Structure 1
Amino acid sequence: MSRTDGPTVVLVHGAFADASSYAEVIPRLIARGLDVVAPAVPNRSLIGDAAYVADIVRQIDGPVVLVGHSYGGAVITVAGTEDNVSALVYLAGYALEEGESLGELQGRFPDSDLAGALVYTPFPVEGSDQPGTDVSVQPGKFPAIFAADVDPRLASALAVSQRPLAALAFTEAAPAAAWKTKPSWGLVASADHTINPDVERYGYRRAGMTTVEVDSSHLVMLAHPERVVRLIEDAVRATSR
């Protein structure tokens, strides 16, 4: 059951991070009287991760504002088709078209600095003789690429506590695009070196989103939490009338 009359805000983290990337946003949302859920996304496959988040959403009593950062934007694009999702908020995220993969969307634009800093590591897949591939960021390059305007000590800690993304997630096509039927808001991190900001702009424009730009690194939730909270509040107000 919800403890408020408003929507529950579900915060979906991206690749190379976990729910702690919302550590500065969560207490601010709670202080504003909102219910918040910040799940640990498996980061194993787009379809599987979206199904995981969708299951969490279905168990929430009442409307949900679904927020996705980075790869989490692709996840909410699919999971956001759940009936009780009232709005989508993208934070430096991927807004995929139905039938489109992350790799296809990124491939339309020049690579960011991230492309030259990725590490590929095999991992065992239960029930298969073939290993999967985890993708992460070289720890030494992580702060500059991912978190240039975040406290350096925190950025260093984040660099060695990454939640990798399985390579499969880059190639799976989105089976749905929730922004076609749900009101959506998008934040472009204009100083982003992880995702080319033009990838963000293109996806948001294609979806007809209400869009803002912030001079921020990729981890805008830690660098500019108040601006992120205001955008989420815009979505809450607009869909709670």
Structure 2
Amino acid sequence: MSTLQEFSSDASIAEAAILSRPQPAPAQSITKGVKNVVLVHGAFADGSSWAKVIPLLHAKGLNVIAVQNPLTSLEDDVAATKRAIALMDGPVLLVGHSYGGMVITEAGNDPEVAGLLYVCALIPNDQQSVGDVVSAFPQAPGSAEFKQDASGFLSLSLKGINSYFAQDLPEEERKVIFATQVPWAAVATTRKITNAAWKIKPSWAIIGTEDYMVTPDLARAEAKMIKAKTLELTSSHVPMVSQPNKVADFIISATQAL
């Protein structure tokens, strides 16, 4: 055998040996789940309503932004949420509490949104407003405590906070929620979404069994409508404040499933 033939034969043997070794998987198959979470607060609140959940998500290596919705109109709140989505690098799990469910159902049509998670939320269908969503069920007790000012903004009475909104929190926390609440433009309750993103995105829902703002009957009907993976908690309207560990765990499980 010539030297050239020997070299060719040895090279072929080496190449076969290399190809027979286990090869590392492509990077995309190693990475599992979504790493970005955008949290959207509801009426009378701001981004700090997620303050107990955010560190728990960070501890799992998730990137988190809590939107500061102006609560001046549905359109303004959707725009604020879409700006937060744009700040993330890659796909997003969009999480909405209460009225924030209206916001994420519209903003969730953004192509970067991989899934939706609703927390004690209002969930509209196509072309529905807040009023449309709640009209099929008896009025929630907490809604009787809405107070409208001369400028057309709603706030929640101290009785509303104590009895219907956050009744499972310590008294001092309830006082802070009352003192820091953000007025909600009444016009936001009349504006309709366009197309419901849950029709094309996987969805999850947390239901508070002692929620007197979005009642359990309404929340269960919504979850059934959107075919959501559902978690029921014995909580008020604000489980992310009263039971942050359980809410964070559910969010984390959703990110891992996407």
1:54 to 63, 78, 82: 82
1:14 matched to 2:33: no
Preserved contact between residue 128 and residue 192 of structure 2 (Cα < 8 Å) = yes
- The alignment partner of 2:158 has SS state of coil
Preserved contact between residue 7 and residue 34 of structure 1 (Cα < 8 Å) = yes
In the TM superposition, what are the counterparts of 1:53-72 in structure 2 within 5 Å? 53-72=81-100
In the TM superposition, what are the counterparts of 1:122-161 in structure 2 within 5 Å? 122-123=150-151, 133-161=152-180
Preserved contact between residue 140 and residue 159 of structure 1 (Cα < 8 Å) = no
Query: How many residues are paired up?
Result: 227
CA RMSD of aligned residues (A): 1.4
Q: Distance in 2 between matches of 1:91 and 1:34?
A: 19
In the TM superposition, what are the counterparts of 1:1-241 in structure 2 within 5 Å? 6-123=34-151, 133-239=152-258
- Counterpart of 2:169, as a letter, is V
- Counterpart of 2:233, as a letter, is V
Alpha-carbon deviation of 1:144?
1.7
TM score, norm. by length of structure 1: 0.90
Corresponding position of 1:126: none
- The alignment partner of 1:142 has SS state of helix
* Cα deviations by residue, 1:71-122 (Å, 9 ceiling, x for unpaired): 0011000001111111110000011101011101111101111122110013
Alpha-carbon deviation of 1:141?
3.1
- The alignment partner of 1:44 has SS state of coil
Preserved contact between residue 189 and residue 214 of structure 1 (Cα < 8 Å) = yes
- Percent sequence identity over matched residues? 37
Q: Which runs of 5+ in 2 are unaligned?
A: 1-30
- Counterpart of 1:19, as a letter, is G
Deviation above 6 Å: which 4+ runs of structure 1? none
Alpha-carbon deviation of 1:7?
2.0
Q: Which has the higher contact order (CA 8 A, sep 6+)?
A: 1
- The alignment partner of 1:160 has SS state of helix
* Cα deviations by residue, 1:147-185 (Å, 9 ceiling, x for unpaired): 111121011111121111111111111112110111100
The structure with the largest helix share of the pair is: 2
Q: Distance in 2 between matches of 1:205 and 1:134?
A: 32
Q: Distance in 1 between matches of 2:170 and 2:47?
A: 18
- The alignment partner of 2:38 has SS state of strand
- The alignment partner of 1:150 has SS state of coil
- The alignment partner of 1:182 has SS state of coil
Q: Distance in 1 between matches of 2:123 and 2:91?
A: 21
Q: Distance in 2 between matches of 1:21 and 1:168?
A: 23
TM score, norm. by length of structure 2: 0.85
- Counterpart of 1:181, as a letter, is I
Q: Distance in 2 between matches of 1:55 and 1:18?
A: 16
- Counterpart of 1:64, as a letter, is V
- Counterpart of 2:54, as a letter, is I
